[in-house]
């Protein structure tokens, strides 16, 4: 086996800023600006060919992480899948196929070229400027000075994924590690730090993907301190509002589902399992479940109580991805000669860090069967309660592309 040489690094950050007044019906305009008069418009978007697969991959990865941890979970499906798809451009046929099929793509239905064009469309659309939604995605390759990458590979990753290629000296691994950390800090406005563990001297390349999201709530929250549950436990800072939200109760899944809108084309989907039902809800989650909920959520006046929370997730995914179909990319037979023309290179580390900081007023964010019915109101005059005072799931979606930016579980709202 050759030297361990390639790291994949993903960094995700979500911030929800304080409320600002917005029009009564919200911002429904698409994020894509119209083409200037006399100019050809952009090609029709093709992100719809890949976003359902990213969602499916996210749920498979989430279920594996849930087996391995009892605490908070947080990661960016868009960030991880984009990094892996980009990497497949540097792999020869068998290894490239293993990556794309491991992500969940059916290559008979969607050829590799269409997958890469789908990611190109997704990255470009997410990165479009918007006055109400700050969303920034990107990739970078840090290449050792002794490495001679193929120009075709550099051209492809720049054109399809907007990835920059930067020179590095991994012989001085400590300095290079600080250089990469500084780059991540800059791209995520200082919110994702320390995401790169110690590099080895035989590293030749680090592939980084980052995502930054910051938005304002469409409707205002108020702040209060929850009552102490017991003498030793601290009060949890809570947000409260009485407002119209789309929600439902799913008796088959034993959970309440709530959608909260941001200003701009993004929504948070919160899933609150009944007491003792978290494992059942996690095990039952399927893409069809999410589609069913999105179709059947109904507007209702809610008395909503939600904890302010700041959670993060840091993972070395090389030990987790093989359990969900991406095993062969880590062995000595994997062929990465599309990057440099050289064989005997292996992937040693797939690192990912994501941070969410959500509050009612401004966040220092860091790196989303059975009859369905409305929860029964307590009485005719009061609004139904949705009190998130136990562990819940968080999905954060960008609406235009229907892409899952972040997925997590909030067990301890103050764990950081």
65 plus 186 within the same structural domain: yes
More confident residue, 31 or 120: 120
Contacts of 371 by beta carbon, 8 Å cutoff, 6+ apart: 251, 252
pLDDT at 9 over 70: no
- Inter-residue contact 352 to 230 (CB < 8 Å): no
- Inter-residue contact 216 to 21 (CB < 8 Å): no
Strand partners, 315: 352
* 8-state DSSP, 262: B
Task: Report the pLDDT value the prediction gives residue 283, as an integer from 0 to 100.
Answer: 93
Task: Report the pLDDT value the prediction gives residue 296, as an integer from 0 to 100.
Answer: 92
Q: What percent of the chain has pLDDT over 90?
A: 36
61 plus 85 within the same structural domain: yes
Residue 293 C-beta-side C-alpha neighbours within 13 Å: 23
258 plus 399 within the same structural domain: yes
Distance set, CA 21 to CA 25, 66, 164, 292, 335 (Å): 11, 38, 38, 31, 54
| Average pLDDT of the segment spanning 89-114 | 93
pLDDT at 21 over 80: no
pLDDT at 18 over 50: no
Q: Classify residue 33: in a domain, yes or no.
A: no
Alpha carbon distance 336, 93 (integer Å): 10
Task: Report the pLDDT value the prediction gives residue 151, as an integer from 0 to 100.
Answer: 92
Task: Report the pLDDT value the prediction gives residue 408, as an integer from 0 to 100.
Answer: 92
108 plus 151 within the same structural domain: yes
Q: Where are any strands of DSSP class E within 251-391?
A: 255-261, 266-273, 298-307, 309-316, 346-358, 385-387
256 plus 314 within the same structural domain: no
Distance set, CA 88 to CA 96, 103, 173, 297 (Å): 5, 11, 25, 38
Task: Report the pLDDT value the prediction gives residue 52, as an integer from 0 to 100.
Answer: 96
User: pLDDT class for 335, splitting at 50, 70, 90?
Assistant: confident
Q: Are strands 298-307 and 385-387 parallel, antiparallel or unpaired?
A: parallel
Q: Classify residue 41: in a domain, yes or no.
A: no
pLDDT at 64 over 90: yes
Alpha carbon distance 372, 375 (integer Å): 9
Rg of the chain taking only CA atoms, in angstroms: 22
- Inter-residue contact 312 to 356 (CB < 8 Å): yes
Tens-place pLDDT, residues 302-324: 888 888 887 788 888 888 889 99
- Inter-residue contact 55 to 77 (CB < 8 Å): yes
Alpha carbon distance 49, 45 (integer Å): 9
320 plus 300 within the same structural domain: no
243 plus 386 within the same structural domain: yes
Task: Report the pLDDT value the prediction gives residue 123, as an integer from 0 to 100.
Answer: 94
Q: Classify residue 83: in a domain, yes or no.
A: yes
178 plus 282 within the same structural domain: no
CATH of the domain at 372: 2.30.39.10
Tens-place pLDDT, residues 198-252: 677 777 788 888 888 877 788 877 766 554 444 445 567 788 888 899 999 999 9
CATH of the domain at 90: 3.30.497.10
87 plus 193 within the same structural domain: yes
203 plus 131 within the same structural domain: yes
pLDDT at 41 over 90: no
Q: Which of 33-37, 80-84, 232-236, 269-273 is predicted with the least confidence, judged by mean pLDDT? A: 33-37
Give the number of domains in the chain.
2
- Inter-residue contact 32 to 128 (CB < 8 Å): yes
Q: Classify residue 240: in a domain, yes or no.
A: yes
More confident residue, 27 or 157: 157
Q: Classify residue 113: in a domain, yes or no.
A: yes
Average pLDDT value over all residues in the chain: 78
354 plus 383 within the same structural domain: no
Task: Report the pLDDT value the prediction gives residue 220, as an integer from 0 to 100.
Answer: 73
Domain span holding position 294: 222-227+236-306+368-410
349 plus 398 within the same structural domain: no
pLDDT at 368 over 70: no
| Average pLDDT of the segment spanning 66-72 | 90
Q: Classify residue 32: in a domain, yes or no.
A: no
């Amino acid at each position: 086996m050759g030297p361990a040489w390639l790291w994949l690094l993903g960094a995700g950050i979500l911030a929800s800023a304080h409320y600002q007044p917005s029009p009564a019906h919200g911002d429904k305009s698409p994020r894509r600006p119209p083409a200037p008069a006399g100019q050809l418009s952009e090609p029709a978007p093709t992100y719809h060919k890949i976003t359902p697969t990213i969602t499916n991959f996210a749920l498979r990865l989430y279920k594996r992480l849930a087996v391995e941890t009892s605490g908070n979970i947080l990661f960016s499906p868009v960030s991880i899948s984009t990094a892996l798809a980009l990497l497949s451009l540097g792999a020869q046929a068998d290894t490239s196929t293993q990556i794309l099929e491991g992500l969940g793509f059916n290559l008979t239905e969607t050829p590799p070229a269409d997958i890469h064009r789908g990611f190109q469309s997704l990255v470009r659309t997410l990165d479009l400027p918007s006055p109400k939604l700050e969303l920034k995605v990107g990739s970078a390759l840090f290449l050792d000075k002794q490495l001679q990458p193929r120009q075709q590979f550099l051209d492809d990753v720049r054109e399809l994924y907007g990835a920059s290629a930067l020179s590095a000296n991994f012989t001085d691994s400590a300095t290079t590690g600080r250089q990469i950390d500084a780059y991540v800090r800059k791209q995520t406005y200082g919110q994702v730090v320390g995401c790169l563990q110690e590099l080895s001297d035989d590293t030749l390349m680090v592939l980084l993907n980052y995502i930054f999201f910051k938005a304002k709530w469409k409707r205002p929250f108020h702040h209060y301190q929850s009552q102490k549950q017991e003498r030793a436990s601290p009060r949890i800072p809570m947000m409260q509002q009485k407002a119209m939200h789309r929600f439902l109760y799913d008796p088959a899944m034993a959970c309440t589902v709530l959608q909260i809108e941001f200003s701009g084309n993004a929504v948070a989907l919160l899933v609150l399992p009944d007491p003792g039902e978290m494992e059942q809800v996690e095990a039952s989650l399927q893409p069809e479940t999410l589609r069913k909920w999105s179709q059947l959520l109904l507007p209702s006046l809610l008395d909503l109580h939600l904890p302010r929370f700041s959670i993060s997730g840091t993972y070395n995914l090389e030990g987790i991805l093989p359990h969900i179909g991406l095993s062969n990319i880590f062995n000595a037979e994997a062929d990465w000669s599309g990057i440099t023309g050289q064989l005997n290179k292996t992937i040693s580390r797939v690192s990912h860090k994501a941070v969410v900081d959500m509050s009612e007023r401004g966040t220092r964010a860091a790196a989303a069967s059975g009859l369905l019915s409305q929860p029964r109101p307590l009485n005719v005059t009061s609004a139904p309660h949705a009190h998130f005072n136990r562990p819940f799931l968080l999905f954060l979606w960008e609406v235009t592309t229907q892409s899952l930016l972040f997925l997590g579980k909030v067990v301890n709202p103050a764990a950081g």
